[in-house]
Amino acid sequence: MTDRVVLAYSGGLDTSVAIGWIADATGAEVIAVAVDVGQGGEDLEVIRQRALDCGAVEAYVADARDEFAEEYCMPALQANGLYQDKYPLVSGLSRPVIVKHLVAAAREFGATTVSHGCTGKGNDQVRFEVGITSIAPDLKCIAPVRDLALTRDKAIEYAGRHQLPIETTKSNPFSIDQNVWGRAIETGFLEDIWNAPTKDVYNYTDDPAFPPVPDEVIITFKRGIPVAIDGEAVTPLQAIEQLNKRAGAHGIGRIDIVEDRLVGIKSREVYEAPGAIALIEAHRELENVTLEREQARFKRGVEQKWGELVYDGMWSSPLKRSLDVFIQDTQEHVNGDVRMVLHGGRATVTGRRSDTGLYDFNLATYDEGDAFDQSAARGFIEIYGLAAKQAAAREARLKG
């Protein structure tokens, strides 16, 4: 039986050429796998037919938008997942769901190898290959650009020579990866980190310098998941899509960062994630109301490590799974409403309410009805500062 290779297929030039390139280099049949994670663009059926026209023996397509939103974006929201405190893991979150479908296709079609279109310099090669071997250790991985010397010039020449049904002349100065959680832009003039992004970099967001009138939104959460917007029930996907539109209109979620790649180099990246940033801002504020103090302090360290693991392609690692359990436990009482005003590049929280919160008006107020026993503070401070007081006394004695 002829060996088979499953290829992560986007429908673009490089992966279209990779179908024949892999077949020529390995003698294997190629199964193209396209996964919709809300990136927009062409219809999946059009992409499926293109893969077949370019020589794939099978084409597997999956609408994974709801799956991606519910099983990947929502855990990231509950974790307030931001790499280097800024980047909401746009690409890092989509790779595990794509990997899941690549492995499913490999099993269905009897493939022994999985292929992706990543270079040898980026994070995605790690995310794909570690992700694949973490759930299917028997599968092999190849990367045509990295392993089979498929350059862009060769791809254009190959497509022309074989008359592949793919556009080869359109030039885009940027490398772009996008899904419903956000959009990542790199390369081109952005590689000079002194250059400011120009207007053509952005697509998900409008210029925050010229915003429309302020937009007030109320987001309702249950166990850390948005379940309604302005009182209307929503699915996770609908919540992200609605806030992408509303927050994006105000230029919210633009990020320009020099980040530390897993492979050891620094890379300048520009991101747009209006819905993700607005949701994380609201979720964090609701946690301020509902999480116990020490639990909240500890969670911040867990969030940082969780984000690093996802960024580094360790979605299925034992540590990531353990942190997931902790994060899920913290979300039991993260219920309630957060009111925000979207305007001029900012999502500003103006109100919060929760039936499961720890905020007690009678303890917090300085007016009539104050239930806090201020007479207990003196003894508390004496005991709390006792160890530091003893240490200070020792230092004074030794210096004397």
Q: Which residues are catalytic?
A: 14, 95, 124, 175
Q: Residues near 285 by Cβ (< 8 Å), separated by ≥ 6?
A: 338, 349, 352
The annotation status of 82 as a binding-site residue, yes or no, is no
Residue 329 phi/psi, 5-degree rounding, is -65, -35
In angstroms, rounded to a whole number, what is the distance separating the alpha carbons of residues 268 and 264?
A: 13
Residue 270 phi/psi, 5-degree rounding, is -115, 135
The annotation status of 275 as a binding-site residue, yes or no, is no
The annotation status of 14 as a binding-site residue, yes or no, is yes
The annotation status of 124 as a binding-site residue, yes or no, is yes
The annotation status of 12 as a binding-site residue, yes or no, is yes
E-strand ranges in 295-344 read 336-343
The annotation status of 127 as a binding-site residue, yes or no, is yes
The annotation status of 11 as a binding-site residue, yes or no, is yes
- Side by side, the strands of the sheet bearing 58-63 are 58-63, 29-36, 4-8, 113-115, 140-142
The annotation status of 259 as a binding-site residue, yes or no, is yes
Residue 300 phi/psi, 5-degree rounding, is -60, -40
Burial of 70 from C-beta contacts in 10 A (0-12 / 13-18 / 19+): middle
**67 and 97 Cβ atoms separated by less than 8 Å:** yes
In angstroms, rounded to a whole number, what is the distance separating the alpha carbons of residues 317 and 296?
A: 24
The annotation status of 70 as a binding-site residue, yes or no, is no
Nearest one of 206, 223, 201, 212 to 70, comparing CA atoms: 223
The annotation status of 60 as a binding-site residue, yes or no, is no
The annotation status of 346 as a binding-site residue, yes or no, is no
Q: Work out the widest C-alpha separation in the chain, in whole angstroms.
A: 90
The annotation status of 13 as a binding-site residue, yes or no, is yes
Instruction: Please report, in range form, the residues annotated as the binding site for L-citrulline.
Output: 87, 123, 127, 175, 259, 271
Tell me the binding residues: 8-16, 87, 117, 119, 123-124, 127, 175, 259, 271
* Binding-site residue ranges for L-aspartate: 119, 123-124
Binding residues for ATP: 8-16, 117
